[in-house]
A and B are shown apart, each in its own frame.
Chain A
Amino acid sequence: DTGVSQDPRHKITKRGQNVTFRCDPISEHNRLYWYRQTLGQGPEFLTYFQNEAQLEKSRLLSNRFSAERPKGSFSTLEIQRTEQGDSAMYLCASSLRGTGAESSYEQYFGPGTRLTVT
């Protein structure tokens, strides 16, 4: 258990419905990331936050996707009007932020939310 938690662990929804996932990072981590993983592929970056600021969004993140981290702690990822192609494992990760130009910190992943769109 890395200390990153995600809820729910599994979600089955019908096409066209909205879904929301939650991620609680390791408490002292100020960076939070969302990734999507489909079968046979490595995780793909979606977006990340430093504290409450969303600093980067992938072009994979269509306008049906929105992510928030309102108080710089937990984050939510919402998908509106779900499509079958949204079926995937949605992974959240957290890390510390480097304080120098060359510093970087490893990311720790949560257990993921597996989304199935029928």
Chain B
Amino acid sequence: EDKVVQSPLSLVVHEGDTVTLNCSYEVTNFRSLLWYKQEKKAPTFLFMLTSSGIEKKSGRLSSILDKKELFSILNITATQTGDSAIYLCAVMEYGNKLVFGAGTILRVKS
């Protein structure tokens, strides 16, 4: 059965810290890996990764995919309280349906 596992399940840091969120997957028909941020509403899109080793960046967030080892990481530098959210990793299969992990709950304390 297809599986996406995120770690840690939750994390508490102080403003200014750097965090690394992990996502490993076992999916039969992999197309791409996506990261979403979810506050008290629907997930908002962060990144889509299709190729190994190519880092994607957006401001203080960056992400990279390793298709050989079947994992991805999401880095957030200089964290702010507004980064507090659930971060979801999802793998897109052929047919484009997404298989999600359970998420990492990040809390940034001021």
Contacts and interface: CB of A to CB of B under 8 A. Distances in A.
A45 B31 contact: no
A95 B45 CA distance: 12
Contact of A42 (B50, B97, B100): B100
B40 to A, nearest CB: 10
A41 interface: yes
B42 A45 contact: no
Interface residues of B, number: 24
By secondary structure, the B interface counts as strand
B18 to A, nearest CB: 24
B108 to A, nearest CB: 20
Contact of B42 (A44, A102, A110): A110
B31 A104 contact: yes
A25 to B, nearest CB: 13
B88 A42 contact: yes
B53 to A, nearest CB: 17
Interface in A44-64: 44-45, 48, 55-56
A66 interface: no
Contacts of A56: 95, 97
A41 B102 contact: yes
Interface string B74-99: 00000000000000101010011111
Interface residues of A, number: 29
A43 B43 contact: yes
Interface in B31-64: 31-32, 34, 36, 41-45, 48, 50
B10 to A, nearest CB: 10
A42 B90 CA distance: 9
A75 to B, nearest CB: 15
Interface of A: 2, 4, 31, 33, 35, 40-45, 48, 55-56, 91, 93, 95, 97-98, 102, 104-112
7 contacts: A2-B44, A91-B43, A102-B50, A106-B34, A107-B98, A109-B44, A112-B41
